[in-house]
Amino acid sequence: MSGAQLLACILAVPMLGAIGVALTRHRPNLREGVSIAAGIVLFLLVATLAATISWDAAPTLVLAEPVQGLALALTPEPLGMLFALVASFLWPITTLYALGYMRAHHEQNQTRFYVAFAVSIGAAMGIALAGNMLTLFVFYEILSVATYPLVTHAGTDKARRAGRLYLGLLMGTSIGFLLLAMVWTWQLTGTLDFTPGGVFGDKVGSGMLSVLLVLYVFGTGKAAIMPFHRWLPAAMVAPTPVSALLHAVAVVKAGVFTILKVAVYIFGIDTIAGLAAADWLLALAGFTILMASIIALRKDNLKARLAYSTISQLSYIVLGAMLGVVAGAVGGGLHIAMHAFGKITLFFCAGAIMVTAHKTRVSQLNGIGRRMPWTMGAFAVGAVSMIGAPPAAGFISKWYLVLGSLDAQQLFAVAVIVISTVLNAAYFMPIIYAAFFKPEDPAQDQDAHGGGHADHGEAPWPILLALVTTALFAVLLFFFPGAPLALVQRMVAL
Amino acid sequence: MTLLDHLPVLVVLLPLFAAPLCVLIDRARPAWLLSLIASLLSLAAAITLLMQVSSSGAIRYQLGGWAAPWGIEYRIDLLGAYVLLIVSAIAPLVMVFALRSVEKEIPRQRIARFYAAMLLVFAGLAGITVTGDAFNLFVFLEISSLASYAVISMGSDRRALNAAFQYLVMGTIGATFILIGIGFLYMMTGTLNMIDLAERLPAVSETRTVRAGFAFLTVGIGLKLALFPLHLWLPNAYAYAPSAVTAFLAATATKVAVYALLRFLLEIFGVQFSLQAMPLDLILMVLGLAGIVSASLVAVFQQNVKRMLAYSSVAQIGYMMLGIGLASTTGVTAAILHVFNHALMKGALFLALGAVAYRIGSVTLRDFAGLGRRMPWTMAAIVIGGLSLIGVPPTVGFVSKWYLVLGTLEQGLWPVALLILLGSLLALIYVWRLVEAAYFGQPPSDAATLQEAPLSMLIPVWILVGANIYFGVYTEVSVGVASRAAIQLMGIEG
Amino acid sequence: MSGLPGLYNYWIAVFLMMAGFYVVISQGNLVKKLVGLALFQTSVFILYISLGKVAGGSAPIFDAGVTVYSNPLPHVLILTAIVVGLATTAVGLALIVRIQEAYGSVEEEDIHAQDLIDDERETPTQAFGPEDDRQ
């Protein structure tokens, strides 16, 4: 298959998967089979593309030309390839997990769930492989709309309010700021292609560039940078597989990925370095990292704590992008992959605890590690990766981020990373300690069902298989970071 | 001369002659069939005309063989053919839809006369787009207006009568203003032919008579196209008219009025006079913006969904006026493009509302509770139409917004761009009220028997929804013709 | 002729127009509104017709010995416009008859008050009486 055909298939497979799921809606086993099969095929396609691609002559797939001179086109580049690999790899695993979770949790409307899920992944692929800003924006919006039914899956008043916040913030910022920034860029330069070194050249003054950068960063609401972060904790009302894949990997990463792409390919790293707004946004990212960590510290609801942890981790990537040095962009790019494996593991564990033990709060987890050793073991691995300690993947990206901060002589950024590491440890370590070393507290063992679940054991096997796999990768990537590192370094070398 | 040479007149004569036949037949089904055939034939003629005009330039046709200064000349240029295509494409779709809808909403023995009046509206609108004679334009405008007063008054709610009367009064004042304006132009130039007018007006453009004529024409057409603040007739008329009528008028009538405005302002008076010597560019821009913001705000608080969309139409007309007010090729392109795109979205939305009205009987927000489950296809159409209204890619609304924002940024009017995007966000709010009601509301208990709308309604709705997406991605025709027409209009005086 | 201001025809048209417009705005009775509207339109007809007069010209009928004719075109145009005006009045009156049937009144205030009640109520009042459903 040629590169362009591969690209077409990568876009088509999730959509075909969605149709397949809809057609097999009366036979749940077949339906989930279709879903997983689509995921595996998709990953194989993406992997083939990554293996065979030649970066000097990257294939391009032109879908249409909605604006004269501006095509809807897919062109892979290294960072996008990395994002696509991570998202497509985690999709079948999450589907496996969802299979266990949705059934154990007796969720309604599972067909709608799997259809929307597949469409969301398709949109994430479009974002990852977009050849220009317009294409990215189109898929960005499709992703917002496609995830809405997932966020509001429960159909309760709480879900409705969450959905309102979700769509309001994501669409409000993207239409209000991102679209404006994009049209403005197009008007100024006549191109929206992702160009190594940036598109502006010397044509545009630095004041204007600063305004544009701020518009781009705030317009990307999916990056959950403060003060546009509220949608992410709200979205935790969704079923856990959604929180895991979409709100730890696909959606939020689509946001920071957009910012990183804009920084590297629209502005250019060197341009960023000279912009006053970059310093300002750096400070905002640092503030978001610390603030979100502090809030996470105070959250008793496990998913909420993870959500704020995500907000904080996302801003690492924004911070890396705003440093304006190569190592910063490398660290940011790596963190997209590294954070993904750790955070999805953590969410898987939270979901496993919820369906098995019916516990959602941190304070209920005393002694649970003895009943669910695999789950909590994986949780520990994920937490270590979040903190950024060896031997977990998070260490690698944090290393590059610190390097970048030193390179850019941003002692502020170094300080932020160090303090936040301490904070990360402060909100994860007590959970692990309580789970393994504190005695069980029978009084806590009550839930909405009215009865205790004192006799529960481990989670169902699909759930376990999924979370052990992702935890394993979170460790493996520490020892073998070669492939993602090569891709990211390729990005800055272009 | 072959039949092909008579197309310009046939496209008007077909519905014009079919109308009295409908009255003579006086039976519902045959009258419907006749209207459908007449409108389909007109559509075929319109497509042929657009292709002819697109390839070989404007077509001129002397009615009865009388040469231009004495006889009436029909002249179809690109803009005319484009708007004609919009009108005659919407007409058969509405006719298909009307079959069931009208049987429910209008007493049987009036149905044949209803179709007769609909055909007259159609004939009048088509006539406006083909004529090259200013006075003839007035006559066609009145044919369509008089017939539309009649069809609006056929709404089953008695408030339709009052709405139609209000519209009649306002519309007649508008028409009389247009008549005065044309009279003043005739006084100064001695001709009614549009091309002759355009040639002779610059010589006398400094006179008070011409300026007064200009003012009368602008206000008169402004009344017809519901330019804020002359829009007061529109919300009630749309809210209480029969569903099929609302869809047809919303998609075509105001669009044709925009066409008339473009014709008079940019071609007859010329860009130089209308938008530079007179301060109309500023006036249109301010009124357009005021319309966008205020009408969108009012729409947010409506309980009747039809009226909500009617206010949204007023806001959308604001976008078109804003585009003209920009007085640049991009701006006028955006305005013409939005004429096309808005016809698609409002056509789809009002038809889908008609399907809801067919099943439930009314369309207040409360009636939508739980509809997402019971009329999934209709609601899906409303969601996509709504997304198009907001301007989410890949729908036509996005393309319109792109060109409009581009037009404002070209002139450095970024506050205007922000207001345009604010309008989008307001649209998000009012569309989402509907979505939340449909997908989260509790259906009333007696609604268990409610079914999806019949196919004869769903098919036209989904054709339009499909067009919303198709023309949002493949814009060669919609943008291509619009920009060529804009260049022609703007190029007349350099 | 010289005793009158040269453009008196315009003054007449303007007066009629304003009078008609005033009636449309000020009158609450729908029939009177319509009369005002007709007056408003008629003023424009007069404006047009008086335009066509050429000083010293004869009626535009071909005749030996006559060289100056008035311009017939405005008259022809206005014939069309009169038909339009007539149709408008007819449609308006028909609407008023229907309004009288549905609301029992042709006074704007009454109708508006009843509309407000309708707006509050759940079920709309049907515009068609039961006799309309006769086949």
Instruction: For C33-49, write each residue's pLDDT tens digit.
Output: 999 999 999 998 888 88
Tokens 């949002």 found at:
B472
User: Which residue among B418, B439, B473 sits closest to A66, beta carbon to beta carbon?
Assistant: B473
pLDDT at site B351: 93
CB contact under 8 A, B176 and C40: yes
pLDDT at site B437: 86
Please give the average per-residue pLDDT across B159-174, as a whole number.
Answer: 92
pLDDT at site B72: 82
Please give the average per-residue pLDDT across A66-71, as a whole number.
Answer: 80
**B·C CB contacts under 8 A:** 102
Which of B373, B395, B401, B421 to substitute to test the interface with A, most A CBs within 10 Å? B421
Asked if residue B343 has pLDDT above 60, the reply is yes
Please give the average per-residue pLDDT across B131-147, as a whole number.
Answer: 91
Please give the average per-residue pLDDT across B405-432, as a whole number.
Answer: 89
pLDDT at site B44: 92
Asked if residue B449 has pLDDT above 80, the reply is no
pLDDT at site B85: 92
The answer as to CATH 1.10.287.3510 being correct for domain C8-124 is yes
Residue ranges per structural domain of chain C? 8-124
Q: How far apart are CA B356 and CA B443, in angstroms?
A: 14
Q: Which of A116-130, B161-175, B193-207 has the lowest mean pLDDT?
A: B193-207
Residue B468 with chain A: CB contacts under 8 Å: none
Share of chain B above pLDDT 90, in %: 47
Please give the average per-residue pLDDT across B94-109, as a whole number.
Answer: 89
pLDDT at site C23: 93
Strand partners, B75: B60
**Model confidence band, residue C8 (pLDDT cutoffs 50, 70, 90):** confident
Residue C49 with chain B: CB contacts under 8 Å: none
Instruction: Output Rg (C-alpha) for chain C, integer angstroms.
Output: 22
Residue ranges per structural domain of chain A? 3-493
Asked if residue C53 has pLDDT above 80, the reply is no
How many structural domains does chain B have?
1
ipTM: 0.87
Is the Cβ of B168 closer than 8 Å to some Cβ of chain C? yes
Pairing of strands A70-74, B59-62: unpaired
Q: Which residue of C has its CA nearest to B159?
A: C115
Is the Cβ of C125 closer than 8 Å to some Cβ of chain B? yes
Q: Is there a contact between B169 and C24 (Cβ–Cβ < 8 Å)?
A: yes
| Min Cα separation A107/chain B (Å) | 16
pLDDT tens digits along A42-60: 999 988 888 888 877 788 8
Backbone angles phi, psi at A355, to 5 degrees: -80, -30
Q: How far apart are CA A43 and CA B480, in angstroms?
A: 39
pLDDT tens digits along A196-247: 888 887 778 888 888 899 999 999 988 888 888 888 888 888 888 888 887 7
CB contact under 8 A, C98 and B161: yes
Q: Which two tokens stand for residue A70?
A: 């501006």
pLDDT at site C39: 93
**Model confidence band, residue B278 (pLDDT cutoffs 50, 70, 90):** confident
Which of C24, C30, C77 to substitute to test the interface with B, most B CBs within 10 Å? C77
Q: Is there a contact between C45 and C79 (Cβ–Cβ < 8 Å)?
A: no
Asked if residue C133 has pLDDT above 60, the reply is no
Strand partners, A62: A73
User: Which residue among A67, A68, A176 sits closest to B425, beta carbon to beta carbon?
Assistant: A176
Of the candidates A92, A192, A83, the residue with the CA atom closest to the CA atom of residue A128: A83
**Model confidence band, residue C85 (pLDDT cutoffs 50, 70, 90):** very high
Q: Is there a contact between A176 and A220 (Cβ–Cβ < 8 Å)?
A: no
pLDDT tens digits along A171-195: 889 988 999 999 988 888 888 888 8
Residue B383 domain-assigned (yes or no): yes
pLDDT at site A444: 53
CB contact under 8 A, B165 and C48: no
- Give Cα C16 distance to the centre of its chain: 11
Residue B45 domain-assigned (yes or no): no
Please name the chains neighbouring C, where neighbouring means 3+ C-beta pairs under 8 angstroms: B
Backbone angles phi, psi at C2, to 5 degrees: -70, -15
Q: Map chain B to HEC letters.
A: CCHHHHHHHHHHHHHHHHHHHHHHHCCHHHHHHHHHHHHHHHHHHHHHHHHHHHHHCCEEEEHHHCCCCCCCEEEECHHHHHHHHHHHHHHHHHHHHHHHHHHHHCCHHHHHHHHHHHHHHHHHHHHHHHECEHHHHHHHHHHHHHHHHHHHCCCCECHHHHHHHHHHHHHHHHHHHHHHHHHHHHHHHCCCEHHHHHHHHHHHCCCHHHHHHHHHHHHHHHHHCCCCCCCCCHHHHHHHCCHHHHHHHHHHHHHHHHHHHHHHHHHHHHHHHHHHHCCHHHHHHHHHHHHHHHHHHHHHCCCEHHHHHHHHHHHHHHHHHHHHHCCCHHHHHHHHHHHHHHHHHHHHHHHHHHHHHHHHCCCEHHHHCCHHHHCHHHHHHHHHHHHHHHCCCCCHHHHHHHHHHHHHHHCCCHHHHHHHHHHHHHHHHHHHHHHHHHHHCCCCHHHHHCCCCCHHHHHHHHHHHHHHHHHHHCCHHHHHHHHHHHHHHHHCCC
Residue A152 with chain B: CB contacts under 8 Å: 439-440
pLDDT at site C1: 43
**Model confidence band, residue A494 (pLDDT cutoffs 50, 70, 90):** low
Of the candidates B261, B268, B235, the residue with the CA atom closest to the CA atom of residue B324: B261
Burial class of residue A253, CB neighbours in 10 A (0-12, 13-18, 19+) = buried
Is the Cβ of B444 closer than 8 Å to some Cβ of chain C? no
Q: What is chain B's mean pLDDT, rounded?
A: 88
Q: What is chain A's mean pLDDT, rounded?
A: 85
Is the Cβ of B157 closer than 8 Å to some Cβ of chain C? yes
SS3 category, C107: strand
Put simply, the chain C residues between 67 and 106 with a CB less than 8 A from any chain B CB are 74, 77, 80-81, 84, 87-88, 91-92, 95-96, 98-99, 102-103
| Min Cα separation A226/chain B (Å) | 20
User: Which residue among A63, A152, A172 sits closest to B425, beta carbon to beta carbon?
Assistant: A172
Please give the average per-residue pLDDT across B424-453, as a whole number.
Answer: 81
Give the angle subtended at the CA of C46 by the CAs of C41 and C51, to the nearest 5°. Answer: 130
Which of B120, B161, B208, B365 to substitute to test the interface with C, most C CBs within 10 Å? B161
Q: Quote the pTM value.
A: 0.89
Please give the average per-residue pLDDT across A343-355, as a whole number.
Answer: 88
